[in-house]
């Protein structure tokens, strides 16, 4: 502890605001070590008249969002304790989480609600082991909690995802919320029928407006020529001048392939990557897999 505090003292001496990471806080001795340590940091901060930022790190994703759980696993308890037992102001308190137990987003939201002013995020949740808190998820959480994006443009989320896939070559799992290719695509026939009649029936929000990702349906054995043309136009985001209709030869060829798949006994739905690969083949690379 003394070595760490000496480094912080050097930062204060140089007029630098330190940012102190409390690594593995969800497995630490909170009252025996964390609180006394942070109390000393806050005392040094007051003496130097320079604020210190405290970063609570759930290094192994071990925290849980339940106030009833004992510290150190309780995220509400940690944030409450740092504020009330160590006098860390909300604006100087942030949360850093991992997704080992699928709780990265819920823990981050809980940290916000209990007083942390910031949460650390990464694009698409990419990070060590199971990843970190996805930035796009917290944008949506923020809007859900505040009722406003407060100047943020959520359509950029889609642009980020496309950049990662097209420019970096990173493959986003299709079922990933907000950025996966299937996140607002329905497969079940009755759901698809409802979606085409009224989008509100089977779409989580206006994904076209907020993410520039209109709702879509998955192709299957009941897909007609018009539905296939619609799918191609939406999946490849074709402009008005590029859009095709049901009379395009590619549409007829794709329908023939789909029909043959199910006539051969196929029972499962067609995956997006299957359709894209077939379209690339049939179109002579006119349309390439996204």
Nearest C-alpha neighbor of 85 from the set 34, 135, 125: 34
Whether residue 161 has pLDDT greater than 80: yes
In angstroms, the Cα distances linking 132 to 22, 30, 102, 117, 157 are: 16, 23, 10, 18, 17
């896939």: which residue's tokens? Answer: 165
Average pLDDT of the segment spanning 149-167: 97
99 belongs to a structural domain: yes
What pLDDT score was predicted for residue 284? 85
Average pLDDT of the segment spanning 110-114: 98
What pLDDT score was predicted for residue 268? 81
Compute the mean pLDDT over every residue in the chain, rounded to the nearest whole number. Answer: 92
pTM for this structure? 0.82
Nearest C-alpha neighbor of 114 from the set 91, 138, 97, 90: 90
213 belongs to a structural domain: no
Average pLDDT of the segment spanning 244-273: 90
What pLDDT score was predicted for residue 218? 78
Average the pLDDT over each of 63-67, 141-145, 239-243 and give the range with the smallest value.
239-243
Residues in the chain: 290
d(CA 103, CA 196): 34
Domain that holds residue 71: 2-120
% of the chain at pLDDT higher than 70: 96
Whether residue 235 has pLDDT greater than 90: no
Nearest C-alpha neighbor of 218 from the set 178, 243, 182: 182
Question: What tokens does 63 get?
Answer: 């925290």
9 belongs to a structural domain: yes
Provide the domain count of the chain.
1
79 belongs to a structural domain: yes
What pLDDT score was predicted for residue 55? 98
What pLDDT score was predicted for residue 196? 60
Whether residue 226 has pLDDT greater than 90: no
d(CA 77, CA 84): 10
d(CA 117, CA 285): 49
SS3 at position 217? strand
224 belongs to a structural domain: no
- Top-confidence residue, 239 or 111: 111
290 belongs to a structural domain: no
What pLDDT score was predicted for residue 105? 98
d(CA 36, CA 86): 8
Is there a contact between 271 and 220 (Cβ–Cβ < 8 Å)? no
Nearest C-alpha neighbor of 272 from the set 229, 225, 226, 220: 220
What pLDDT score was predicted for residue 192? 59
Question: What tokens does 102 get?
Answer: 């699928």
Question: What tokens does 31 get?
Answer: 């009252």
Hey, which bits of the chain come out as E strands? 19-22, 53-57, 93-96, 118-119, 185-186, 216-217
Helices (H), 164-265: 189-197, 207-211, 225-235, 249-263
Q: How wide is the angle at C-alpha 249 spanned by C-alphas 247 and 252, nearest 5°?
A: 80
Average pLDDT of the segment spanning 142-148: 97
288 belongs to a structural domain: no
Whether residue 62 has pLDDT greater than 90: yes
What pLDDT score was predicted for residue 89? 98
Is there a contact between 73 and 62 (Cβ–Cβ < 8 Å)? yes
Tens-place pLDDT, residues 8-34: 999 999 999 999 999 999 999 999 999
SS3 at position 230? helix
Compute φ and ψ for 27, nearest 5 degrees.
-130, 15
What pLDDT score was predicted for residue 267? 85
53 belongs to a structural domain: yes
Average pLDDT of the segment spanning 73-93: 98
- CATH of residue 56's domain is 3.20.20.70
């Amino acid at each position: 502890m003394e070595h760490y505090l000496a480094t912080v003292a050097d930062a204060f001496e140089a007029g630098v605001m330190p940012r102190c990471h409390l690594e593995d806080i969800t497995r630490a001795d909170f009252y025996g070590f964390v609180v006394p340590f942070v109390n000393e940091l806050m005392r040094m901060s007051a003496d130097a008249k320079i604020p210190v930022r405290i970063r609570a790190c759930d290094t192994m994703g071990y925290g849980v969002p339940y106030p009833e759980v004992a510290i150190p696993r309780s995220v509400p308890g940690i944030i409450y304790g740092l504020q009330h037992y160590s006098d860390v102001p909300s604006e100087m308190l942030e949360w850093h989480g991992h997704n080992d137990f699928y709780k990265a987003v819920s823990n981050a939201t809980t940290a916000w609600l209990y007083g942390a002013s910031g949460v650390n995020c990464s694009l698409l949740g990419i990070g060590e082991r199971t990843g970190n808190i996805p930035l796009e998820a917290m944008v949506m959480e923020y809007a859900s909690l505040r009722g406003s994006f407060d100047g943020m443009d959520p359509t950029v989320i889609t642009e980020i995802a496309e950049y990662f896939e097209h420019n970096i070559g990173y493959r986003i799992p299709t079922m990933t919320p907000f950025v996966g290719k299937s996140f607002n695509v329905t497969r079940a026939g009755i759901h698809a029928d409802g979606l085409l009649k009224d989008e509100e029936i089977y779409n989580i929000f206006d994904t076209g407006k907020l993410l520039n990702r209109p709702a879509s349906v998955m192709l299957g054995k009941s897909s007609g020529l018009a539905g296939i043309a619609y799918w191609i136009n939406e999946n490849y985001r074709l402009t008005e001048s590029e859009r095709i209709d049901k009379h395009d030869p590619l549409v007829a060829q794709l329908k023939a392939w789909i029909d043959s798949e199910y006539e051969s006994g196929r029972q499962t739905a067609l995956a997006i990557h299957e359709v894209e690969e077939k379209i690339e083949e049939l179109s002579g690379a006119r349309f390439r897999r996204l």
